[in-house]
């Protein structure tokens, strides 16, 4: 199972939980192989060009839907080079700040950012990543300007926010929550349209003073195009089963992820919808991967 992002990031956490269960079901180990870089493009291109024999799959993310709008000359086609297997989880982002930053709400952050134009920096999991778009969307909707510092994964970005090297970040809930629990990060808001059951006291960005704001990430499993349908359905059945087991469900929901598990046609339709959605956001923000 290729994971196109760094170890300890949200994609990696979900991948390892699922890989263990489907490995048990098939009676063989599923090796999670982190192939990072270019907002997931390196790993996704590797997966797209892998033999369609069922022995290589990829746990991808909403980056699959973002990258066609952000990058020119991709080495793969986000729709035609993959066979969707199943949507795994939906995951909101949480807007976190270093514990020393003198803000405790989105409104206070906006006020500080306007007073210190482009002085405040924020980390992301990579240029064009959903964590980048989440903050860029907040900038656009609140008319503030921040300094973007892209990292090669959520884990590295969060580490620097906790260490005080960068003050802000939108991080996937599963990979960011440990820093909150350790009191090295403080949460300002959550990116989804509704509050999380894991963090019921944390307001949404919309509730915190930015009406209409919403952006949620997702993770899902793909195989190379032309993988036999019988194999796709076998893997799909085990992924859906894994996501419904009390062990995996409890682990993922406890970290703020919402397990899904759906059919290949449903996931295909979802991907197409997400590509259209992010194309509109990227165009409205006027972003390119170099920003």
Q: Are residues 115 and 76 in the same domain?
A: no
- 21 within domain boundaries: yes
Looking at the predicted structure, is the pLDDT value of residue 254 above 90? no
Average pLDDT over residues 60-82: 94
Quickly state the pLDDT bin for 104 (edges 50, 70, 90): very high
Specify burial of residue 286 (Cβ count, 10 A radius: 0-12, 13-18, 19+): exposed
Average pLDDT over residues 92-96: 96
**C-alpha span between 138 and 106 (Å, rounded):** 10
pLDDT at residue 203 in the model: 98
pLDDT at residue 21 in the model: 94
Q: Are residues 254 and 274 in the same domain?
A: yes
Q: How far apart are the first and last CA of the chain?
A: 30
Q: Are residues 60 and 79 in the same domain?
A: yes
**C-alpha span between 158 and 28 (Å, rounded):** 34
Residue pLDDT, tens place only, 11-29: 898 999 999 999 999 999 9
CATH number reported for the structural domain that contains residue 101 in this entry: 3.40.190.10
- 95 within domain boundaries: yes
- 264 within domain boundaries: yes
Say how many domains are in the chain. Answer: 2
Residue 17 sits in which domain range?
Answer: 2-90+216-285
Q: Are residues 167 and 229 in the same domain?
A: no
Specify burial of residue 139 (Cβ count, 10 A radius: 0-12, 13-18, 19+): middle
**C-alpha span between 44 and 56 (Å, rounded):** 11
Residue pLDDT, tens place only, 180-212: 999 999 999 999 999 998 899 999 999 999 999
Domain's final residue, options 155, 190, 225: 190
Q: Are residues 164 and 223 in the same domain?
A: no
- 195 within domain boundaries: no
- 110 within domain boundaries: yes
pLDDT at residue 172 in the model: 87
pLDDT at residue 291 in the model: 54
CATH number reported for the structural domain that contains residue 10 in this entry: 3.40.190.150
pLDDT at residue 23 in the model: 95
Residues 6+ apart with CB under 8 A from 288: 70
Of 172 and 48, more confident: 48
- 198 within domain boundaries: no
Looking at the predicted structure, is the pLDDT value of residue 121 above 60? yes
Looking at the predicted structure, is the pLDDT value of residue 290 above 80? no
Q: Are residues 10 and 60 in the same domain?
A: yes
Domain's final residue, options 128, 155, 190: 190
Q: Are residues 110 and 254 in the same domain?
A: no
Residue pLDDT, tens place only, 210-252: 999 999 999 999 999 999 999 999 999 999 999 999 999 998 9
**What percentage of the chain has pLDDT greater than the value 70?**
99
Looking at the predicted structure, is the pLDDT value of residue 148 above 70? yes
DSSP state of 215: -
Looking at the predicted structure, is the pLDDT value of residue 116 above 60? yes
- 238 within domain boundaries: yes
Mean pLDDT (the chain, rounded): 94
Average pLDDT over residues 163-174: 94
Q: Are residues 257 and 227 in the same domain?
A: yes
Quickly state the pLDDT bin for 103 (edges 50, 70, 90): very high
- 58 within domain boundaries: yes
């Amino acid at each position: 199972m290729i994971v196109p992002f760094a170890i300890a990031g949200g994609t990696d956490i979900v991948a390892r939980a699922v890989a263990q269960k489907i490995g048990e079901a098939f009676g063989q180990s599923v090796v999670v192989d982190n192939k990072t870089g270019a907002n997931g493009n390196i790993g996704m291109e590797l997966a797209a060009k892998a033999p369609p024999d069922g022995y290589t799959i990829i746990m991808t993310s909403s980056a699959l839907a973002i990258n066609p709008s952000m990058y020119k000359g991709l080495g793969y086609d986000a729709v035609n080079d993959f066979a969707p297997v199943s949507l795994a989880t939906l995951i909101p982002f949480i807007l976190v700040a270093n514990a020393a930053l003198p803000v405790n709400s989105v409104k206070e952050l906006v006020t500080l950012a306007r007073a210190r134009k482009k002085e405040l920096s924020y980390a992301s999991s990579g240029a064009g990543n959903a964590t980048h778009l989440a903050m860029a969307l907040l900038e656009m909707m609140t008319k503030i300007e921040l300094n973007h510092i892209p990292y090669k994964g959520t884990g590295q970005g969060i580490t620097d926010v906790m260490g005080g090297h960068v003050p802000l970040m939108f991080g996937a809930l599963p990979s960011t929550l440990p820093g909150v629990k350790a009191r090295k990060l403080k949460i300002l808001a959550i990116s989804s349209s509704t509050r999380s059951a894991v963090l019921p006291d944390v307001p949404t960005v919309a509730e915190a003073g930015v009406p209409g704001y919403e952006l949620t990430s997702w993770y899902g499993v793909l195989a190379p195009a032309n993988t036999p349908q019988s194999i796709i359905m076998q893997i799909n059945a085990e992924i859906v089963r894994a996501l419904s087991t009390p062990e995996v469900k409890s682990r993922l929901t406890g970290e703020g992820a919402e397990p899904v598990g759906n059919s290949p046609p449903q996931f295909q339709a979802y991907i197409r919808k997400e590509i259209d959605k992010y194309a509109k956001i990227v165009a409205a923000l006027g972003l390119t991967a170099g920003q």
